[in-house]
Chains A and B, each alone.
Chain A
């Protein structure tokens, strides 16, 4: 069945360092991979996404890479800041299932000043 595994579950970095979160997916038909950031008590917010015809996408300090052969994708945050502290979720979606998202278990990122 469809499954998304996310690692690590917690990540602590010093301000200014980089953070990397990795996800693997089970269904090779997956073709859309978003990342959501959720602050405590708030809604998940889409921060970046990538489609299966692209290997890398960047938006300022965040970037996502996709390896379709290995069925994994990663979120990279450079020059981390305390406001990057949150829970980050990866997800995979399937074109022929109306945009249904399967989420990873989440990574709690803590950026220490």
Chain B
């Protein structure tokens, strides 16, 4: 049963510290999405990649957030410096896009990283 994995599952840090979250997409999936979930804002898309190239990061605060895919099996989301308002659950999801058929649409979510910034 292939699943998206994320690490760490929980992170508590102090304001101003750097936070790095990691995601391993399902093997063979070439599209990766980062979402943030809070009670107030619900599920927000932060950024997404296809074949490791960023397609859209307009949902992400650029001054402190950055997202990368160093290789096909790893996506990272970094916050530097972190602030209390960044406290949320961060989900990664992966999917498969075919060159000729377009996106497969289905997205499969990882377990999330629960971030608390004090």
Encoded as 1 (CB less than 8 Å from any A CB) or 0, chain B from 69 to 95 comes to 000000000000000000000010001
Chosen A-B contacts, 30 in total, with CB atoms closer than 8 Å, are: A32-B105, A34-B105, A36-B109, A43-B110, A43-B112, A44-B91, A49-B105, A49-B106, A51-B105, A89-B42, A93-B103, A95-B103, A97-B55, A97-B56, A98-B31, A98-B48, A98-B55, A99-B31, A99-B48, A99-B95, A99-B97, A99-B104, A99-B107, A100-B45, A100-B48, A100-B55, A101-B45, A102-B45, A104-B42, A105-B42
Distance of A101 Cα from B48 Cα, bound (Å): 10
A98, B103: Cβ atoms closer than 8 Å: yes
**Which B residues touch A54, using CB under 8 A?**
none
Please judge, given known A-B contacts A44-B91, A106-B42, whether A101 and B109 are in contact too, CB under 8 Å.
no
Distance of A50 Cα from B102 Cα, bound (Å): 16
> Interface residue tally of chain B, by bracket?
20 to 34
- Residues of chain A touching chain B, judged by Cβ–Cβ distance below 8 Å, are 32, 34, 36, 42-46, 49, 51, 89, 93, 95, 97-106
Besides A99-B31, A99-B103, 12 new A-B residue pairs in contact (Cβ under 8 A), listed by A number: A34-B107, A43-B109, A43-B110, A45-B109, A46-B106, A95-B103, A98-B50, A99-B104, A100-B33, A101-B107, A103-B42, A106-B42
Interface of B is mostly: strand
A101, B33: Cβ atoms closer than 8 Å: yes
**Which B residues touch A105, using CB under 8 A?**
42
- Residues of chain B touching chain A, judged by Cβ–Cβ distance below 8 Å, are 31, 33, 42-45, 48, 50, 55-56, 91, 95, 97, 102-112
Q: How far is the CB of A95 from chain B (nearest CB, A)?
A: 6
**Which A residues touch B108, using CB under 8 A?**
46
Distance of A99 Cα from B102 Cα, bound (Å): 9
Q: Which 7 A-B pairs have the closest CB atoms?
A: A99-B103, A103-B43, A43-B109, A32-B105, A105-B42, A98-B55, A44-B109
A44's closest neighbor in chain B, by CB?
A: B109
Distance of A10 Cα from B111 Cα, bound (Å): 24
